[in-house]
Amino acid sequence: MGAVIFDLDGTLIDSEPDIRATLNRVLVASDLAPLDKAQVTGMIGDGATVLVQRGFAARGVAAGARELAAFLSDYEENSVVETAAFPGMAAALEALRAAGHVLAVCTNKPEAATRGILAGLGLEGYFAVVKGGDSTPYRKPDPRHLAAVLDALGASEAVMIGDHENDMKAAAGLGLKSIFVRWGYGQASGDYSVAEPGELPGLIETIFK
């Protein structure tokens, strides 16, 4: 069976509420106005450093190391307050595992935060490999980030699932099939697209036939 690699934010989990709450606390601590859901959703996908830079830039201020450190410290303590797996995702993961697929996560979020969230949501047991944005010198859309996941899995055949153009570009760079999930935060075109997690097991079985 082939490997199935998932993005995290906007794909496996709805993390925007906690990301927004943390970012807004850091902004308010700097006497800046908070951001709304639509603004923050559009900032997610390129890792914590870029997120913080975008958040402060939206208020006309440049963010530095201090602001990033404040964000990471706060988020570490508050990453699973409102964050949850998307409805139907746990069942989809269970079906994929039962079908014999090996599962992994490739995200631009820092690895420690990713593992903490997966553990907090009871999802960590599904994934053989987890690579974050600080796990390698590369980040999606650089295909070498995704290649590191394949190397760790010892897999040559895989499909990438994500909600962002970074995911689709990383897969294309390795010649892998991609599935765009329409419930997430980004806009992109993959080889396939799905509207709900329950569609994934059947589609993946078809891809690997």
Please give the model's pTM, rounded to 2 decimal places.
0.94
Q: Which of 7, 14, 46, 163 is catalytic?
A: 7
Whole-angstrom distance, CA of residue 17 vs CA of residue 45: 14
Concerning whether 7 is annotated as a catalytic residue, the answer is yes
Q: How many domains does the chain have?
A: 2
pLDDT at 44: 96
**CATH number of residue 173's parent domain:** 3.40.50.1000
Whole-angstrom distance, CA of residue 28 vs CA of residue 47: 21
Report pLDDT digits (tens) over 125-168: 999 999 999 999 999 999 999 999 999 999 988 999 999 999 99
Report pLDDT digits (tens) over 190-201: 999 999 999 999
What is the span of the domain harbouring residue 111? 3-14+83-207
Residues 71 and 106 in one domain: no
Residues 30 and 95 in one domain: no
pLDDT at 156: 82
Residues 134 and 68 in one domain: no
Calculate the average pLDDT of the chain. Answer: 96
Residues 67 and 104 in one domain: no
Nearest to 149 by CA among 173, 167, 171, 131: 131
Mean pLDDT value of segment 64-90: 97
Residues 10 and 91 in one domain: yes
**CATH number of residue 31's parent domain:** 1.10.150.240
